[in-house]
Amino acid sequence: MNIITHYPFFLLIFVRITSFFLILPVYSYKNIPVFHKIGFSFFLSWIIFLTLHPKVLEINGLYFGILIKEMLTGLFIGFIAYMILSAIQIAGSFIDFQLGFGIANVIDPMTGAQSPLTGQFLYTFALLFMLSVNAHHMLLDGVYYSFQFIPADQVSLPFDRHQILLFLLKSFSSMFLIAFQMAIPVVGSLFIVDVALGIVARTVPQMNVFVIGLPLKLGVGFIILIVVMGAMFMLINGLFETMTQMMKTLMEMLGGGTRGAG
């Protein structure tokens, strides 16, 4: 296959891959040079191009519409993966609110956005865990198999918008459920500490609970966080599987599959 002859078809693949990496976790971070991102997208597009059966396409008005469709497809699939992994930072926000770190957000150098202290701590460990178990290969598999569900030369996306809306609602609910499961041991323990401090404040008015409350909550929160860290990694491992399954479901729905959001 000659890439020059089938250049319009190759460009469709390249646009989807580039759009996918534009928002995808790990691959989209600012500390990765843009030149490396474009080069990696090019060579990955070339590999995918060699595995497909390219067609000779004409560059006309319809072709530019297909280009926009490919860009939106890559962004949509990458957004689902990013949204599911955001559950880790949301769990950190829940924990920070109880620990008193809610006003101490830091700038994440990888994304350029503000993130909670505990959320950034957990997210860094989650990324290292994802790289150690090769979960980032699932993301590459997802964008590769997207061409099986949604052909690059497909003119439009024959999806049902009602199913897409239900799917997005289910994705949001799954994200918050996983975040709640990750944060509930620490948040629940700190709630019990707050109740105990309230009882002490009522029974011993001479004691200043505001002075001892903050260091006590910090100590209890860190101890509980260390104890449940193993269980959190189990949830993060399940989060990777949820992310892959939701990416597959979304690709089936965008390609006109019959599988619903449930």
145-199 confidence digits (pLDDT tens): 888 888 887 777 777 778 888 888 888 888 888 888 888 988 888 889 888 888 8
Residue 63 — φ and ψ, nearest 5°?
-65, -40
The residue with greater pLDDT, 237 or 159, is: 237
pLDDT digit string (tens) for 101-131? 766 666 666 556 666 778 778 888 888 888 8
40: which 2 tokens?
């990696």
**Can you tell me the mean pLDDT for 3-15?**
82
* pTM of the shown model: 0.77
Is residue 260 over pLDDT 50? Answer: no
129 burial level (CB within 10 Å; 0-12, 13-18, 19+):
middle
pLDDT tops 80 at residue 68: yes
Task: Tell me the average pLDDT of the chain.
Answer: 81
